[in-house]
Chains A and B, each alone.
Chain A
Amino acid sequence: MVEANTTVADLRTQFGNELTESSFRDNHRVHVPPEKALDVLTWLKEQRGFDMLVDITAVDYLEYPDATDRFHVIYLLLNMTTKERLIVKVPVNLPDAALPSVVPLWKGADWMEREVYDMFGIDFIGHPDLRRILMPEEFTTFPLRKDYPLKGFGERHNFPVLTRAES
């Protein structure tokens, strides 16, 4: 796990000191401002061999104690040669929650970004096909946001009903 620390140190010489790092158990995290996210991820893939994107997810910190940003988009990266893992956290805020898409870097990001968009309403600019994936097209809100109640807003009643003749 010494490896991860040198990666973060190199990142900071490359992209400046706004990049902070933190770690917990065996997870190493680097916090990157949104405008530098794509550059950092590209650099990590091309210069540091993080050739696999394990997952993209997001967390809504609306009710979290001492949180400063509304969302964090979390990229879990893995270097398949050294088996090193690194977590890149990017803060995103409303009203225009958007990040550049990483589909050009990792094709696997396609459905992951679609799910984050579907659940949190974070746009990924440059994504080839950003549509809802798990929720129906008629859905208007984003269910994993913290201001969305567990039982929903009653959208189910507004869904169009197909009769047998129409189907």
Chain B
Amino acid sequence: MPLELSEVSDPIAADQEYLWTLNFGPQHPATHTTLRLVLTLDGEKVVGAVPHIGYLHSGFEKLGEHLDFNQYVTIVDRMNYISPIANELSWHHTVEKLLGIEITPRCKYVRTIFGELMRLHDHLLNVGAVALDLGAFTAFLYAFQQREKIYDISEYASGQRFHSSYTRVGGVLFDVNNDWVEKVRKFVREFKPVHAELHRLLTRNRIFIDRTKGIGVLTPEDANNMSVTGPLARASGIVRDLRKDEPYLAYKDFDFKIVCARGGDCYSRYVVRMQEMLESIKIIEQAIENIPAGPINIDAVTDITLPAKPAVYRSIEGLIQHFEVLMPNRGFPVPLDEVYGATESPNGELGFYIVGDGTVRSYRARTRPPSYIHFAIFPHLIRGHSLSDVVAVLGSLNIIAAELDR
């Protein structure tokens, strides 16, 4: 049971000699990635936590100022590597907003399907990893088996399982075909029984509930005040989903619900993620049967998208077009202005703030990383709980250190 916050945050008690310090991380199985917590403990009770981050900082935003809009997608991939294409969607959504491009209906549908597959990808890992940290190994394996199938789908479309670098300005790398559609259909069919099984393993599991219910409670007021978005905010009862509030891609066309819970604890976050998976499946089912025909990339004459490879090899126009886009002194016209664009990534609002200076490189490419903002609330959530709850809370926040540090 959580203790009264006033009792442990007393400044005089914090100076007492009986408090001891525990270094949690940077290498610890339950942090999953590289981050460090310095915990102050009173017996087993956590009275303070100071996160230390930056172990994986690799200057992504600086690199974004030196790579062009298509090249930077490979870096964006490596931010939240649990759901790589969700990052690409957000990056190119913002770039296209800056350039004022409207992508084709077919591309919107394909990107939407990938966006939802990535949501499943991320939530599966999170549900599995939370269960694993709390001692339930089976659920983790069930979840990972399904993630393998999503890897296959993304390999089939882009050629790479993990860091697919699939989207391009004004379109995607390769068009999808009927085999891919069939693969997604098969995945959707096979996913539902596995999801039901995960439910049976965890949702009413006594041990799992004891470890997660009432742990790390985040009130709606605090969630707003601390900039929390995504499943974390929805688990605290905030009805906010960019797919509904600021519809992008093809989300306007589909029938789905925003999943919310009132608890605000680790268990509510688990339930929200589980239910969101079903909503994602619903979206994929609707989208996959209605992919519009027509081109996937916007017209090549606009100097923005690369022409198809057969056109490059077999016609002089295609070859000229190819060089027009790729040569450093050509490229497409970029406005001298700046724009913020955001999408609902599996982890929350993933936004980019891009400043265009007329060249094909962004002058500034700021990422609003949900993991970074969510990790900042960790000391607030853990105060007053016991040491063993650290892994439960950490797991439920879904911190991806590559996105945390960039």
Binding site for B on A (CB under 8 A): 24-25, 27, 51-55, 57, 59-60, 63-65, 74, 76, 80, 83, 85, 87, 106-112, 115, 119, 132-136, 143-144, 148, 150
B376 CB–A CB distance under 8 Å:
yes
List 29 A-B pairs, Cβ < 8 Å: A24-B339, A25-B339, A27-B340, A52-B227, A54-B368, A55-B366, A55-B368, A57-B368, A59-B338, A59-B355, A59-B363, A59-B364, A60-B364, A63-B357, A64-B357, A65-B336, A80-B240, A83-B246, A85-B340, A106-B225, A106-B226, A106-B227, A107-B380, A108-B227, A108-B376, A111-B372, A111-B375, A132-B54, A150-B63
- Contact indicator B373/A108 (Cβ below 8 Å): yes
Closest chain-A Cβ to B373's Cβ sits at a distance in Å of 6
How many interface residues does B have (CB within 8 Å)? 46
Q: Are A24 and B61 in contact (CB under 8 A)?
A: no
A54-B342, A107-B225 given; 11 more Cβ-contact pairs under 8 Å: A24-B338, A25-B98, A27-B339, A52-B225, A59-B364, A83-B246, A109-B227, A111-B376, A112-B373, A119-B61, A134-B406
Considering the complex, give the chain A residue whose CB is closest to the CB of B63.
Answer: A150
Report A76 CB to chain B, min CB distance, Å: 6
Give the contacting residue for B225; candidates A85, A108, A134, A144; CB below 8 A: A108
What 3 pairs between A and B have smallest CB-CB spacing? A108-B227, A111-B376, A134-B54
Q: Does B395 contact A (CB under 8 A)?
A: no
Q: Which of A24, A115, A132 has its CB near the most chain B CB atoms (within 10 A)? A: A24
Question: Which residues of chain A are near B59, meaning CB under 8 Å?
Answer: 143
- Interchain nearest-CB distance for B362 vs A (Å): 11
B66 close to A (CB within 8 Å): yes
**Interface status of B100 (Cβ within 8 A of chain A):** yes
Whether B351 contacts A55 by the Cβ 8 Å rule is yes
Look across to chain B and name the residue whose beta carbon is closest to the beta carbon of A23.
Answer: B337
Does the CB pair A25–B97 fall under 8 Å? yes
CB contacts between A and B, total, < 8 Å: 99
Taking each of B358, B376, B405, which has the highest tally of chain A beta carbons within 10 Å of its own beta carbon?
Answer: B376
For A119, list chain B residues within 8 Å (CB): 61
A133: chain B residues at CB < 8 Å are 53-54
Within 8 A of A (CB), among B265-323: none
Set B224, B337, B351: member contacting A24, Cβ < 8 A:
B337
| Chain A contacts for B380, CB-based, 8 A | 107
Is the pair B357, A107 in contact by a Cβ cutoff of 8 Å? no
Residue of B240, B366, B405 ringed by the most chain A CB atoms within 10 A: B366
How long is the Cα–Cα vector from A136 to B53 in the complex, in angstroms?
A: 9
CA distance A29 to B281 in the complex (A): 38
Q: Is the CB of B57 within 8 A of A135?
A: yes
Taking each of B228, B238, B373, which has the highest tally of chain A beta carbons within 10 Å of its own beta carbon?
B373
CA distance A115 to B342 in the complex (A): 20
How distant is the Cα of A51 from the Cα of B238 in the complex, in angstroms?
Answer: 13
Residues of B close to A27: CB separation below 8 A: 338-340
In the complex, B245 has a CB within 8 A of chain A: yes
B226 engages A107 (CB within 8 Å)? yes
Are A83 and B368 touching (Cβ within 8 A)?
Answer: no
What chain A residues lie within 8 Å of B42 (beta carbons)?
none
In-complex Cβ contact of B62 among A55, A64, A109, A150 (8 A): A150
Is B353 at the interface (CB under 8 A from chain A)?
A: yes
Interface residues of B in 341-360 (CB under 8 A from A): 342, 349, 351, 353, 355, 357-358
